[in-house]
């Protein structure tokens, strides 16, 4: 796997609908997912989606933690999510600031569901169903948009 570069806005890959992974492929992508997490940390990211490094598959990492770019971000274990979906979303919405590694230097206010229930597979193929709220729910929604060819500016206030 050559070193990953982050696609910038304008790169058509960011506008594709990413393909689902078959469970049989999960382990094949293990080295790529390691490189994906490394690339995210290199840029002080709190999340990253596979299409951002030119791999149009339905996978992303949510990794909220306080860092120079998001000093107030809550702490969580970086989590790889395969074939992720939102199964329920609250009516209530919240506005907060977002950035994107594919659109450096720009922040925008984006309206997101305050609470969501999500499901995804782990690398080992285990299905996880869990609830998210606040900034972590925001990151999930931001990353899921990337899998559907959307970027945060598309729904910025």
Ligand X SMILES: O=C(NO)N[C@@H](Cc1ccccc1)C(=O)O
Catalytically annotated residues: 143
Rounded Cα distance between 156 and 23, Å, is 34
45/84 with CB nearer ligand X: 45
- Contact status: 51 vs ligand X (CB under 6 A): no
Report which DSSP code applies to 144: H
| Residue 48 binds which entry of ligand X, Zn ion, none, CB below 5-8 Å type-dependent | ligand X
| Residue 45 binds which entry of ligand X, Zn ion, none, CB below 5-8 Å type-dependent | ligand X
Q: Which of residues 137-156 bind ligand X (CB under 6 A)?
A: 138-139, 142-143, 146
- Contact status: 147 vs Zn ion (CB under 5 A): no
Which residue in the set 100, 110, 116, 132 belongs to the binding site for Zn ion (CB under 5 A)?
100
- The answer to whether 74 touches 62, Cβ cutoff 8 Å, is no
Strand residues in 1-156 grouped as ranges (E): 47-49, 59-62, 79-89, 93-98, 108-113, 115-121, 127-133
Which residue in the set 101, 132, 137, 147 belongs to the binding site for ligand X (CB under 6 A)?
101
- The answer to whether 36 touches 48, Cβ cutoff 8 Å, is yes
């Amino acid at each position: 796997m050559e070193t990953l570069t982050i696609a910038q806005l304008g790169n058509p890959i960011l506008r594709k609908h990413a393909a689902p992974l078959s469970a049989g492929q999960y382990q094949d992508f293990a080295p790529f997912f390691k490189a994906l997490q490394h690339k995210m940390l290199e840029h002080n990211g709190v999340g990253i989606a596979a299409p951002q490094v030119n791999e149009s598959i339905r996978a992303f990492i949510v990794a909220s933690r306080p860092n120079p770019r998001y000093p107030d971000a809550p702490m969580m274990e970086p989590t790889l999510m395969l074939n992720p979906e939102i199964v329920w979303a609250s009516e209530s919405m919240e506005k907060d600031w977002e950035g994107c590694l594919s659109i450096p230097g720009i922040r925008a206010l984006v309206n997101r569901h305050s609470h969501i229930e999500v499901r995804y597979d782990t690398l080992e193929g285990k299905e996880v169903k869990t609830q998210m709220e606040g900034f972590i729910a925001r990151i999930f929604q931001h990353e899921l948009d990337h899998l559907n060819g959307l970027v945060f500016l598309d729904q910025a206030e």
